[in-house]
Amino acid sequence: MQRAKSHYKQEKGKSSVGSYEEAGEIGKLFEGQKQSSASELPSRLVLFEHPAEELTAEEAGDMLIPFAFEEALCRDVGAGLVPPCLHIWSHPGGVVLGLRDSKLPHAAAAMAGLEQAGYRTAVRHSGGAAVPLDTGIVNVSLVLPKAPGKLDFHDDFRLLASLIAEAAAASNPQAAAQIRAGEIAGSYCPGDFDLAIGGRKFCGIAQRRQSGAYFVHAFVVVSGSGRKRGELIRGFYETASGGDESLDYPRVRPETIAALGELGGPDAAAVYAAGIRQAAERRGVQLTPAGRLRQETGYDLQYSDPRVLETAATLRQRYAR
């Protein structure tokens, strides 16, 4: 998975159209950023939803399952077994690290400390940095087939960023009008497509590519305390780095993080998830629930699918500290 460019990881990202643009706000969202040709959502998206409160104990206990699920789903989209997809999910709680985080000299001790404090930990196959996961954070992924020869993915980042903003506008248009894209220095997992209100970040966007498909993923901090989450991640880095200022890792300032609910936006995960669905439908997208696809075609990918569990085990073995 790749993050948009930051001081911690140099990467890339995409564009957008839709109701937020028609309201005259899309230019403000990407103020000061180079514009590119517009990108549109597919006319049909299969909708997979995995809210934290509906997970089994096994699913809630393994932080890599959502990432493994998207790996398997991405392979199937690339193979033409399933149409493009929208995945909305949350997790009961933990901290997921990027690869570079796991290589800090005292990362294992820092992860053990988090586990002892009640936070699950995992390392994802990602160029990004550490982020918290909990019931107040809504994760949104677009899983799309890759066009032959496609190299520039900036439009995809912009596409998802605008969808994220439109979802906030569904219930809180005044707050959504203040959303801006651009790296927030001092935030955790910083990148060019951080989304913020008043300079306080509530969303980051990353991407993972495969040969035939890719997914663009956003974590959206909806409810709870942004500052407390920032303190959690800052504490991880303080331990993992051993205080060595020469190391390359994000210098997190907790005051740069906020939840949408603290910024005048929606303050409940379920409300924001509904906003994502509404924003897609306003763009003319036909959302097909995964259950309906199963009835129509027999395609049935679940968190409990053996392929997903095997992928999670492989990720754990390959990327564990």
- Contact (CB, 8 A) for 244 and 105: yes
Question: Which pLDDT value is given to residue 25?
Answer: 58
β-strand 200-209 against 2-3: which pairing, if any?
antiparallel
Report the C-alpha dihedral over residues 208, 209, 213, 219, rounded to 10 degrees: 10
Residue 255, burial from CB neighbour count under 10 angstroms (0-12, 13-18, 19+): middle
85 an active-site residue?
no
Question: Which pLDDT value is given to residue 36?
Answer: 45
Residue whose tokens read 């809630």: 60
Question: Which pLDDT value is given to residue 12?
Answer: 33
Q: Give the domain ranges of the chain.
A: 2-319
Q: Which CATH class is domain 2-319?
A: alpha beta
| CA–CA separation, 240 and 225 (whole Å) | 23
| CA–CA separation, 303 and 56 (whole Å) | 10
Q: CB within 8 A of 317, min separation 6: which ones?
A: none
287 SS3 class = strand
Cα angle 293-59-62, degrees, rounded to a multiple of 5: 130
Residue type, 238: E
Chain CA centroid to CA 154, Å: 16
Question: Which pLDDT value is given to residue 148?
Answer: 77
Instruction: Indicate the pTM of the whole model.
Output: 0.90
Query: In whole angstroms, how far apart are CA 244 and each of 56, 131, 188?
Result: 40, 21, 18
Residue whose tokens read 């909990």: 134
Question: Which pLDDT value is given to residue 151?
Answer: 61
| CA–CA separation, 28 and 36 (whole Å) | 15
Sign, Cα dihedral of 25, 23, 289, 54: positive
| CA–CA separation, 37 and 15 (whole Å) | 7
Question: Which pLDDT value is given to residue 187?
Answer: 97
Question: Which pLDDT value is given to residue 208?
Answer: 87
In order along its 321 residues, the chain shows pLDDT tens digits of 545 544 444 333 333 334 444 444 555 787 765 554 446 899 999 999 999 999 999 999 999 999 999 999 999 999 999 999 999 999 999 999 999 999 999 999 999 999 999 999 999 876 689 999 999 999 999 999 988 766 667 789 999 999 999 999 999 999 999 999 999 999 999 998 999 999 999 999 988 888 899 999 999 999 999 999 999 999 999 999 999 999 999 999 999 999 999 999 999 999 999 999 999 999 999 999 999 999 999 999 999 999 999 999 998 888 765
Query: Edge-to-edge strand order for the sheet containing 93-97?
Result: 120-123, 93-97, 131-134
Residue 16, burial from CB neighbour count under 10 angstroms (0-12, 13-18, 19+): buried
Catalytic residue among 74, 85, 189, 203: 189
- Helix axis angle for 269-282 and 154-169, nearest 10°, is 120
